[in-house]
Amino acid sequence: NAMSISKNHGAVEKRITNLRSSPLYRTVKKDVKTNLNHSKTGLNVLNSLTHIRDSLKENLVKAPLFKEFGLDYLGPVDGHDIKALIKVLETAKEHDGPIVVHVVTKKGKGYPFAEQDKLGKWHGVSPFDPKTGQSLIKLCTDELSWSEVISKTLIRLAFKHPEIVAITPAMANGSKLLEFARLFPDRFFDCGIAEEHAMTMAAGMAQGGLHPFLSIYSSFLQRAYDQINHDVARMDLPVVIGIDRAGLVGDDGATHQGVFDIAFLRSIPNLILSQPKDAKEAQNLLYTAFMTNAPFCIRYPRGTIPYQKNEEFERIKIGSWTCHIVGMPETILITYGPDVDRIIQKAKENSIGLMVVNARFFKPLDTKLLDTLIKEKLPIIIYETDIKAGGLSSAILEFMSQYDERIKIIGIGDHFVDHGSIRILRKEEGIDMESVFKELEHYEHAPRSSSDRSL
C-alpha cells in the first residue's frame, strides 16, 4: 500500500516495487493448462504444450526475483478495483503451487488525514475527531509515553558515549527513535521487520566494541528468542534491550499482548531482566544498563507516565528491590512497574497497613531482601500483571522452596551447559541417578513430625 510503519530499506524493496506481470501469460497459461488436462493426442503434444507454457513463463513474466524462489507471480493489480481483484484471485486459486499476488492499495483510502500520513500515525489510532483528525486523548503537560522517556534518556547518554548505537526492527516511530535518528544518523540502524537479524547485528556490534540499544516490542521479541539466547546471552555481550509494549496492550490486538517476555527470558543465563516503576527509575535503569558489561533488558509498558528529567543519573545495584511501608504492615505485597505507586497510593487512601515491595529486577532476584521478608512471618501476596507460569511468582516460589525441608528441587542451574557426553553432563549437573538417590537417602533418614507421617 506504499506505506509502512517505518521507511522501507534495501534493494529487495526497490526490486519488488518494479515487478510487473504479463496479462498475456495468465490467459495463455490457463488455456495451456486446460489443453494439457484434456489432450488425447499423445506425449509429443503434451511435451510441446509444456514447452510453450514454460517459454511463456520464462519470457513474459517480469518477476525474476520470485522465480528464483520457485514462486509464480501475478500483478500488480489495483486493490480498489474489486472486479479486477476478484479475477486475479480466481486465477491464483486455479494455479498449481505457490504464487505471489501483488495487490496495490492506498492506505487510509477515502480519509484524507490517513491518506496523507507519512509517519505511520494512522496505523493505529486512539479516539479522534473525524472532522479535524485530532486525537481526543489529552495528555497532561508533564506526561510522556514510556517510549519517549527511554528515547530522551538514550539521546542524553549517546551525547556522552559515542559507542552507543540504536537499532530498531522497523519501529522507529512507535519506539520514538526518530529524534535519535535525526541527531545521530550514522549511529541509527533500521533493520526492517527482521527481529532475528536485529538481535544478531546487535551482538556483532557489541563484539566489535559498540554498545547497542535494541528497541523491540515485547510480542516481536519472541521472534528473536534464538538470537538473544545464542548470539547475545551465550556470548555474554553488552547489548541493552528495550522491551517496549510490555504487559497488556489493550486495543493493539490479541497477538500483541506482551505478557510472555518475563517467562521466556528468565530462563536464559547471563541475562539481566528489569522493569522501572516510574520515569526516574527508568532513566536510572537505562544508565545502569550502559554502565554494565552484560546483556541487560529493560521492559516498559504502553501508555504514559509523569516525567521529570533526572539532573544526575544514579546507578542502581543489580538485583536490588525497594520497600515502601504504609502504616503498620499486616501484609507484604510484591509487585513491579507502575502498579507499585498505584498500590501505595490506594493503600494510603484506605488506611491499609501494607509493605509494598518494588521487585524491579526479575533476574537476578533480591535474595537478601527475600530472606528478610520470609522471616517477617507475614502473609505474602505476589501481584503480577503478566503470565504467572515462569514469571515473578515462579521465581520467588523457586527461591522459597529452600525454606521447606520437604521440598528439594533437582535440576540444571542458571548457566549454559558445556559440551560433553550425556553421562558426564548429568553427573556434573547433579541430575544423575546417583545424585537423586543420595537425596532420597537423606530424606529417608531425616526425622519427621506426626503431621508429616499423616501426609
- Residue 314 · residue 284 · CB < 8 Å: yes
Instruction: Give 173-214 pLDDT, tens digit per residue.
Output: 889 999 999 999 999 999 989 999 999 999 999 999 999 999
Banded model confidence at residue 455, pLDDT cuts 50, 70, 90 = very low
Average confidence (pLDDT) over 297-313: 95
**Amino acid (1-letter code) at residue 120:** G
169 neighbors 220 (Cβ within 8 angstroms): yes
Fold of 322-403: Rossmann fold (3.40.50)
Buried b (16+ CB within 10 A) or exposed e, 351-389: ebebbbbbbbbbbebbeebbeebbeeeeebebbbbbbee
pLDDT score for 19: 45
Active site annotation includes 68: no
Q: What is the pLDDT of residue 71?
A: 87
- pLDDT of 270 over the 90 cut: yes
- Span 298-312, average pLDDT: 95
Choose, from 67, 106, 107, 280, the residue flagged as catalytic.
107
Q: Which architecture does CATH list for 144-306?
A: 3-Layer(aba) Sandwich (3.40)
Tell me what the pLDDT averaged over the chain comes to. 87
pLDDT on residue 399:
93
* Mean pLDDT confidence for 140-165: 95
Domain ranges of the chain: 11-104, 144-306, 322-403, 408-455
| Catalytic entry in 53, 176, 187, 195 | 195
312 annotated active-site: no
**pLDDT score for 60:** 45
- 144-306 and 322-403 have identical folds: yes
The per-residue pLDDT for 450 is 52
Confidence of residue 241 (pLDDT cuts 50, 70, 90): very high
What is the average per-residue pLDDT within 318-329?
A: 96
195 is catalytic: yes
Whether the bond between 338 and the residue before it is cis, its omega within 30 degrees of 0, is no
Is the CB of residue 364 less than 8 Å from the CB of residue 395?
A: no
- 199, 168, 165: which is closest to 184 by C-alpha? 165
* Residue-level pLDDT at 141: 75
Percent helix, strand, coil in the chain (nearest 5)? 45, 15, 40
Write the CB contacts of 192 (distance below 8 Å, at least 6 apart in sequence).
8, 9, 10, 13, 169, 170
Reported confidence tier of residue 20, pLDDT bands at 50, 70, 90 = very low
What does the pLDDT read at residue 75? 81
Could you say which of 33, 106, 121, 223 is catalytic?
A: 223
- What number is the average pLDDT over the span 117-146? 82
Residue 61 has pLDDT above 50, yes or no: no
Pairing of strands 164-168, 211-217: parallel
Q: Which of 7-11, 48-52, 403-407 has the highest mean pLDDT?
A: 403-407
Single out the residue of 300, 278, 287, 297 nearest to residue 176, CA to CA: 300
Q: Quick check: helix, strand or coil at residue 445?
A: helix
Q: Is the model more confident about 153 or about 441?
A: 153
The pLDDT of residue 159 is above 90: yes
Whether 57 has a pLDDT exceeding 90, the answer reads no
